[in-house]
Amino acid sequence: MSEELPIIGKDPLGRIIRDWSVKPWWGIDRKKIEWYPKVNYDKCIGCGVCYITCANRVVFDWDKEKKKPVVARPYNCVVACTTCKMLCPVDALEFPDKEYMEKIIKEHKILVKAKEILKKHDLI
């Protein structure tokens, strides 16, 4: 599936960078969903855990001069993922709050869509 996505390049760790932003989420244009991390540089200690952990979507680049991560490909971020935030030792990554996602779920009738999929596959 990811093989079909456009390749943007490779990063210094040798990871292939794909453009995940072209892949809709629940039928919604990914670029219309403001879900991605923001680095609080007042807190960030440059440990590199977020940069290294986000290995498939490669959301972060690494600023060699500042020795800090940069959110280079925000729309590559998996909607509702918070892995990097969970692993950050100093809580330096910020995401939209739960209410933001609840609004999207409601507006785009995602619960109805989920039910339809389960029904289609004879799971309910």
CB closer to ligand SF4 out of 18 and 57 = 57
- Residue 74 · residue 57 · CB < 8 Å: no
CB closer to ligand SF4 out of 66 and 102 = 66
Total residues interacting with ligand SF4, rule: CB under 6 A: 25
Identity of the residue numbered 104: I
CB of 118 to ligand SF4, least distance (A): 25
Q: Does 77 bind ligand SF4 (CB under 6 A)?
A: yes
Residue 100, Cβ density class (10 Å: 0-12 exposed, 13-18 middle, ≥19 buried):
middle
- Residue 90 · residue 44 · CB < 8 Å: yes
Binding piece for ligand SF4, criterion CB under 6 A, among 6-14, 24-32, 80-88, 106-114: 80-88
Written as one string, the DSSP assignment of 65-109 is TTTEEEE--GGGSPTT--HHHHH-TT--EE---HHHHHHHHHHTT
Window 18 to 57, contacts with ligand SF4 (CB under 6 A):
37, 39, 44-50, 53-54, 57
One symbol per residue from 84 to 113: x for binding ligand SF4 (CB under 6 A), - otherwise; what is it? x---xxx-xx--------------------
Q: Does 83 bind ligand SF4 (CB under 6 A)?
A: yes
Can you tell me the distance from the alpha carbon of 15 to that of 72, in angstroms, rounded to the nearest whole number?
14
Can you tell me the distance from the alpha carbon of 85 to that of 124, in angstroms, rounded to the nearest whole number?
34
Give the footprint of ligand SF4 on this chain (CB under 6 A): 37, 39, 44-50, 53-54, 57, 59, 69, 77-78, 81-84, 88-90, 92-93
